[in-house]
Amino acid sequence: MSVLKTDSLPIRSSDDVVLARQAVRKWSTELGFSLVDQTKIVTAASELARNALDYGGGGTVRLEALQSELRKGLRLTFEDQGPGIPDVEKALSDGFTTGRGMGMGLGGARRLVNEFEIDSRIGEGTRVTITRWK
């Protein structure tokens, strides 16, 4: 697998969440994703960017356009230096909320993508990597 191009964007404000969504839409369109697949990756990106801002105090998203032998993909890595998630499995469960959302974030994002990986350390932050393949 090779990386065709990469970029990184800050997530420091609600405007940055919008810019991240727009970038993901643009990249997924350029990679030839169907409208359904575009919507899935953009929705997942929006949830994760919002989480990085609201719970992680801000962070970054790295976008990577991927090419394997048979397909193209889009990998997004969201990182923050926030407080971390005490119970990742609980946070991934349907209906989990800290009271500020609908409880759709992490579990919903995981269902919208082909690959999902999360690493969260208390006091250090959280990294979520998602990939959607065409």
pLDDT at 90: 87
The vertex-25 CA angle with 115 and 99, nearest 5°, equals 65
pLDDT mean values, one per 10 residues, the chain (134 residues): 96 97 98 97 95 95 96 98 92 69 76 96 96 96
pLDDT at 13: 97
CATH topology of domain 2-133: Heat Shock Protein 90 (3.30.565)
How large is the C-alpha radius of gyration of the chain? 14
Strand, coil or helix: 55: coil
Q: Is the whole model's pTM more than 0.75, yes or no?
A: yes
